[in-house]
Amino acid sequence: MDQVMMSNYEHWSLKIDADNILWLTFDRKDSKVNSLNESTLREFDQILNSLGQNNRTKALVIRSGKTTGFIVGADISQFKSLTSAEEATQLIRKGQEIFNKLERLEMPTIALIDGFCLGGGLELALACKYRIAENSPKTRLGLPEVKLGIHPGWGGTVRLPKLIGPLQAMDVILSGRNLLPKAAKKMGIIHEAVPRRLLEKAARDYALTPPRQKESFPWRQALNYKLIRPVLGRLFTSQVSKKANPKHYPSPFKVIENWVAHGVETPQAMDAEADSIGKLLVSDTSRNLVRVFFLQEELKGLGKGLSYKPQHVHVIGAGVMGGDIAAWCALRGFKVTLQDQAPKLIGNALKRANELATKQLKENYLVQEVMDRLFPDPNGLGIKTADVIIEAITEKLQAKQDLFQAIEKQAKPDAILATNTSTIPLEEICTVLKDPTRLVGIHFFNPVPKMPLVEIVKGEKTNKTVIEQAIVFVGKISKLPLPVKSSPGFLVNRILLPYMLEAVALLEEGVSGPVIDKAATEFGMPMGPIELADTVGLDICLAALEKLSATTGAKVPEKLKEYVSRGELGRKTGKGFYQYNKGKVIKPKPATKETIPSDVTDRLILRLLNESVACLREGIVDSADHLDAGCIFGFGFPPFRGGPITYARTQGGANLLKQLEELESRYGNRFAADRGWQTGEVA
């Protein structure tokens, strides 16, 4: 008979069954998710100590008491209070010692995983002898620490390569990517991936008849040998260098360096892990990335506490945006009807949806479930029953007005009426509505599946409840909602505009595209502005510029018009500012070694910062944090710099103001400093 053991633990409960298996359930008090902090680890340590002395227990099964998953990792909020590398290293060492203790237990130890098993959670599981996971798309295993500018610190960089060999382990650690259970099993990270109903049985089987622990992949593990490590280390470094700049993101390089120096067997490997993560934890990069993590949480939490439960989304316009918006909503569990005046485009969109679902979910039956939720609806029958109606038709005021007038007559009185417009003010579209307060902007970015941010555009008249509902809806489709004021370009495009224009100005002055792009990527942008323009499409850039120039006074560059008139629209036509071969950019090599002129980076970045300050002053977003988040998640402003306003603050407002004045004297009033610099927006 099962026996619940009385204990004083706040976060853990213990149950011993008739076979003397100890079922240890982690259910962190006062938290929706299981994360590991000082107090949860202290209790875990006490439990392990008591187990060490108790020889009655046959086996230990560690599982979660939450519906939100196994363990999401270390509690990141603790990082903020660390003041020195030494303090951080000490804290890490304590965790390492506890996990070593778990590893040393002689009985079978089994991690029973369902839902998220990330970072410190996976490291805990790796210190167990066996790992069994629920085979479900909700189960995700990974070591995402590099995304926070650190690396695993509780033995993950040592135990994982030891278990599955360095090739597979480095792939997981250096990318920070999550694995589905089947992939994790194939790699050898977990022993079983079973349906939910068989989880306990599998754990019991392992506990009572533990399979012999053998070297599962001897040849893979052999690659951890001392003589092989330097060679492989160079390979890993060259692969990571293609994706990350060591000056900006040192942590994956530290993992490789530690592994090359110490391998996986020696105690020094654990010491090196603790020392390097200690230093990384207090670095500016990691501090900024941790802040960005919390910004993301803040945006995710904007709809918290509001009860709105939409179920049916109707999308009108099955083009680039509408098609992908529909697919994304179906993927996230909504019933979706998709309307377009051209039925063929609905067909194309459904095909893309199938590809997206296949890529994301892998299993045929799950893909089928998504496709069963997505209905072609050429006649717009879905308008009558939809909770959220999203318009994504051609960017023409009259067409949008006609459409909304028709929609308003048929839609349910409480349905949200949303437009995906990039440039047309909501105030102009809504004039034709009987109730203009119903119209809100839900502005997605291209490509929809990849871009995490969605701007929630608040028109002058938009009803507050409608805005809140739009925020909740966007959260429900796992995007980050950012409320913005309806004004030309909203936030993201408005801030990008001067930066892109400066890039074209540099091009017109004769600086080559690759040099301009290099200046931006060395600053940390994911892609240079010239390649970005080609990727967005020069016709789209031109159309947006023409619309915005009317309101912002920005001059449309002649060069852009020339390319568009020649039909050279960028990546999609195989030629734009650059040439493309099967979508892959071919950047021209400069005749002589061209160096980056000293002020190229300043010109690009200061225009971007100046516009950011203007947006903050004008209240386009609610706070500097929201502005930073918008730029990081909207166009990839380097997260390790913390966002434009944080970056400006670190550089010092007075310094940047001086630089702007110098640039204005050289290049004219497009560099005129916004008033916000004087009024304390970056102080």
The residues that touch ligand NAI, with contacts defined as CB under 6 A, are 316-322, 339-342, 345, 392-395, 399, 403, 420-422, 444-446, 540
- Helix, strand or coil for residue 527? coil
The CB-of-506 to ligand NAI minimum distance in angstroms stands at 24
Residue closer to ligand NAI (CB basis): 192 or 391: 391
Would you say the C-alpha torsion 115, 120, 126, 130 has a positive or negative sign?
A: negative
The CB-of-423 to ligand NAI minimum distance in angstroms stands at 6
The CB-of-634 to ligand NAI minimum distance in angstroms stands at 11
Residue closer to ligand NAI (CB basis): 77 or 379: 379
The CB-of-342 to ligand NAI minimum distance in angstroms stands at 4
Residue nearest to ligand NAI (CB): 319
Residue numbers annotated as active site: 455
Give strand pairing partners of 585.
Answer: 580
The CB-of-137 to ligand NAI minimum distance in angstroms stands at 28
The DSSP H or E segment spanning 605 is: helix 600-617
The CB-of-424 to ligand NAI minimum distance in angstroms stands at 7
CA distance 274 to 153: 6
540 phi/psi in degrees, rounded to 5:
-65, -45
Q: Give which of 647, 674, 672 is closest to 661, Cα–Cα.
A: 672
The CB-of-341 to ligand NAI minimum distance in angstroms stands at 4
Joined together, the tokens standing for residue 363 give 């299993």
Q: CA-based angle 481:485:486, to the nearest 5?
A: 110
CA distance 520 to 214: 50
Residue closer to ligand NAI (CB basis): 193 or 416: 416
| 8 A C-beta contact, residue 347 and residue 386 | no
308 phi/psi in degrees, rounded to 5:
-150, 125
Could you tell me which residues come within 8 angstroms of residue 514 by beta carbon, excluding any fewer than 6 positions away?
528, 587, 588, 589, 590, 594
Residue closer to ligand NAI (CB basis): 345 or 350: 345
- Helix, strand or coil for residue 522? helix
Residue closer to ligand NAI (CB basis): 354 or 446: 446
Residue closer to ligand NAI (CB basis): 270 or 569: 569
Other Cβ atoms less than 10 A from the Cβ of 425: the count is 18
Joined together, the tokens standing for residue 415 give 């349905």
DSSP-based helix, strand, coil % in the chain, nearest 5: 55, 15, 35
| 8 A C-beta contact, residue 277 and residue 461 | no
Residue closer to ligand NAI (CB basis): 89 or 420: 420
CA distance 448 to 330: 13
